[in-house]
Amino acid sequence: TYILAIETSCDETAAAIIKDGTEVVANVVATQIESHKRFGGVVPEIASRHHVEQMTIVLEEVFAKANMTMEQIDAVAVTEGPGLVGALLVGVSSAKALAYAHQKPLIGVHHIAGHIYANRLQEEFTFPLLALVVSGGHTELILMKEHGVFEVIGETRDDAAGEAYDKVARTLDLPYPGGPEVDRLAQLGEDTLSFPRAWLEEDSYDFSFSGLKSAVINTLHNAKQKGNDLKRENIAASFQASVIDVLTEKTYRAAKDHQVNQVIIAGGVAANKGLRASLEEKFKEESIQLSIPPLWLCTDNAAMIGAAGTIAYQKGNRAGWDMNANPGLDLESYGMRGRS
Ligand code: ATP
Ligand code: MG
Ligand code: FE
């Protein structure tokens, strides 16, 4: 089965061709980071315009790389949501046009299902499975007992992990996107400030990062007023230590409580060096299999949409020609579609 996948939910225009849900035939990502940098974040209108400009170029490139034509494609999968509505619409419209013109089935994919299925391009899933999703807009612990069905057992009550990284980066005058910059600085510093860890209720798998973010901002502010010289490296390291402690401990406890066979991490923050090392250390002695994706599969791409789209295709999920971008698409109900 060959799936053509398209992803335009945020600031990456991406297309990929995936074979049998596990093999990347071709993968193209055109990032817009440079265009958004001077604004310190993604500007929705600019994102949409870039997607329009890039879409056909990216599609031509993916077919050239794969040395394939539309005739050899079995279905077209596209990110239906969540994301920026104007950005999503470019991908959805392009996918519809291509699928309709070539009379191929159309499949709508949930962006977070995509982030999770990025891991299957590297390693087959063994259920029950726990996914730690840490991205720009999501921080969730998701339990899966079978393909394509998702149970959210924990989530953030305020900021997403990536969002917290980006905000802390801004207060440290680091360029957008801040996550990788804070990660880099953190490697050079030490956890000298002991910021709070938001454990919440004892049995909760939920997360909270807004208190930590405020603690970082206040610490910086107070130091500036008193003329104290705080090392940015230590602020970054202290912030990162707090985030990682909570993510690692909650993931570990959820994995134990639900007796999972596999733990996977997904989303942009899964690229974080500290988080990867901490989870590896924590699960080292465990029989639970830990799957950590390569960096190119952590941030937004279309290969992951093709991997998730293949499962939807195999389950018989087909979108109509009336499919619309859905910025608030819910993961659990998305996973219930086409369930036998
Ligand atoms: P979502 O997937 O929730 O819709 P998104 O698509 O914008 O959001 P991703 O592309 O998955 O998010 O991830 C981007 C986020 O990952 C940004 O917040 C970025 O700062 C963060 N990020 C990337 N690399 C790192 C890193 N090494 N350490 C920490 N954060 C990182
Ligand atoms: Mg992005
Ligand atoms: Fe994403």
Q: What is the pLDDT of residue 41?
A: 85
Q: What is the pLDDT of residue 201?
A: 94
User: Cα(187) to centroid of ligand 2, in Å?
Assistant: 23
Lowest-confidence region among 26-30, 229-233, 279-283: 229-233
In which order are the strands placed within the sheet that holds 106-110? 23-31, 12-19, 2-7, 75-81, 106-110
The C-alpha R_g of the chain, in whole angstroms, comes to 20
pLDDT digits (tens, 9 = 90+) for 172-185: 999 988 999 999 99
Ligand nearest to the CA of 271: 1
Q: Which residues line ligand 1 (CB under 6 A)?
A: 9-10, 83, 111, 115, 135-138, 162, 165-166, 177-180, 183, 267-269, 271-272, 299-300
Please state the atom number of ligand 1 nearest to the C-alpha of residue 298.
Answer: 11
Q: What is the pLDDT of residue 310?
A: 98
Confidence of residue 34 (pLDDT cuts 50, 70, 90): confident
Q: What ipTM goes with this model? A: 0.97
Other C-beta atoms closer than 10 Å to the C-beta of 317 total: 20
Give the residue numbers of the binding site for Fe cation.
111, 115, 300
- For residue 295, give both structure tokens: 């960096």
For a substitution probing ligand 1, which of 85, 135, 297, 298 has the most ligand atoms within 8 Å of its CB? 135
pLDDT digits (tens, 9 = 90+) for 268-305: 999 999 999 999 999 999 999 999 999 999 999 999 99
Peptide bond into 177 cis (omega under 30): yes
Closest residue to atom 4 of ligand 1, CA basis: 137
User: Cα(10) to centroid of ligand 2, in Å?
Assistant: 6
Q: What is the pLDDT of residue 340?
A: 59
Give the residue numbers of the binding site.
111, 115, 133-137, 166, 179, 183, 272, 300
Torsion angle, alpha carbons of 213, 215, 218, 224, to 10: -90
User: Cα(272) to centroid of ligand 1, in Å?
Assistant: 9
> How far is the C-alpha of 267 from the C-alpha of 105, rounded, in Å?
27
pLDDT digits (tens, 9 = 90+) for 84-94: 999 999 999 99
